[in-house]
Amino acid sequence: MYGAVPGSDRLTNPDWLLERLGKLPVPSRYRVAFSGGLDSTVLLHLMASVRERLTVPLDAVHVDHGLHPHSGEWARQCEAVCRRLGVPLEQVKVDARPRLGEGPEAAAREARYRAFVEGLEPDAFLLTAHHEDDQAETLLLQMLRGAGPRGLAGMPEYRPLGKGWLVRPLLALSRSELRGWAEAVGLVWIEDPGNFDTGFDRNRIRHDILPGLTQCRSGAAHAIARSAMHCAEASELLDELATADLEGSEAAPGILAAEPLRTLSPARLRNVLRVWIRLQGLPVPDTANLNRISEEVMSARGDSEPLVHWPGAEVRGYRGHLYAMAPLEPVPKGWQMEWSGAGKLVLPAGLGELSLRPVQGRGLKAELFARGSVSVHFRKGGEHCRPAGRGHSHLLKKLFQEAGIPPWERGRIPILGVRGESAAVAGLCYGEAFVAAVGEAGLELLWNRGRH
């Protein structure tokens, strides 16, 4: 155990760390995210000091972003520290180059966490060394972005990550406490010069703004982090309220009935929409787009087709319902393919695949495929179909309307054609002239819809 350090009492005895971790479910292993910097070096040494009292394995992971000329040297230094402590280390190299329109900080974080997720076994804990000052910086950043209670809640101590969990056991400690203890016990760590580049917002807050606030009021970082905790509680209450308001309004996954929500106040409606969109796994819209959804899509009547979109998501309206989805990939214009019926036919634009299942006395006549006369295409406009049992031919548009299929989906439904006629519309109907008779070999059309 490390000796006592003045001003760092919480770090002197690691029992507090075991107590903190003991409040959480028992993981399959503890994995320390080890960059080699001050904070993660402290966390790794603390975990190594209690390793004999852990009931599950302990290891570490180092992610090499390849962005700094010394990154290879840093990786070797991390390996040496772990070897000295007897902690197994996994080293992962990632491509952290930013994509078009993406900032370098965001690109590095995304690449890093993707590597964390890929290497995290079920029920394992990934431990990161975020501390109280990081929490204060996060809240100030979110304030500058105009975030609401959820954004101002900062970083939770414990949240799902891939198949495991992300845990931040040092959130109650300050940067100065970590540094004081590390210096007193003689730890060596890596100083990334990028952490001092005030061209990045977080670094500017860390080196310029937060110290200024601390001069204005001592304990500023602690007070700001406490505000984040209050915002987290407020966010939880808003989520609970939204869950209650959504009851009875969700018609299907990603589909929301508008009528039950019309009596809600504007603020309460925006809260419901925000939570509902987030629950679909989609990015939450900004205030302007949220207002457009509540005003334009919620109030749409009849067969109007309002649409509000923002990066990564969109909400459409049709017949009193709201549809939240990722942006639709366009279907290639004029796409058509001959199909023998053998195996699976993969459709374009992420629309899944078609397959056939042998049946008797129903489905399409098997002989159609034997003759090689079947093609697959999407709606161009003006197509007709005479559904089995209806007796008359109808425009596909009319059949889609009767079935309540939203307009944006109609051009994304595969149609099987035989000699210019609609033999089948996937998920909707078979053409009467092409249906297998009683006792005749038939083929049932199956459509695995993919992500459309």
Instruction: Pick out the residues of the known binding site.
Output: 35-40
Instruction: Pick out the residues of the known binding site for ATP.
Output: 35-40
pLDDT score at 241: 97
The rounded distance, in Å, linking the Cα atoms of 323 and 407 is 12
1: pLDDT strictly greater than 70 = no
Show the CA angle centred on residue 226, arms to residues 24 and 272, nearest 5°. Answer: 75
pLDDT band, very low/low/confident/very high, at 451 (cuts 50, 70, 90): low
Query: In angstroms, how far apart are the furthest CA atoms of the chain?
Result: 90
CB 427 within 8 A of CB 329: no
pLDDT band, very low/low/confident/very high, at 242 (cuts 50, 70, 90): very high
pLDDT score at 3: 40
Query: Per-domain residue ranges for the chain?
Result: 8-232, 247-325, 336-448
pLDDT band, very low/low/confident/very high, at 9 (cuts 50, 70, 90): low
294: pLDDT strictly greater than 60 = yes
The rounded distance, in Å, linking the Cα atoms of 349 and 451 is 9
pTM of the model: 0.81
pLDDT digits (tens, 9 = 90+) for 53-77: 999 999 999 999 887 788 899 999 9
The rounded distance, in Å, linking the Cα atoms of 261 and 248 is 10
pLDDT digits (tens, 9 = 90+) for 351-408: 999 999 999 999 999 999 988 889 999 998 889 999 998 878 999 999 999 999 999 9
| Mean pLDDT computed over every residue of the chain | 92
Decide whether 8-232 matches 247-325 in CATH topology: no
The CATH label, of 1.20.59.20, 1.10.10.10, 3.40.50.12140, 1.10.760.10, for the domain at 247-325 is: 1.20.59.20
Nearest to 373 by CA among 412, 349, 338: 338
Mean pLDDT of the region 140-150: 94
The rounded distance, in Å, linking the Cα atoms of 83 and 180 is 24
Q: Which fold has domain 8-232?
A: Rossmann fold (3.40.50)
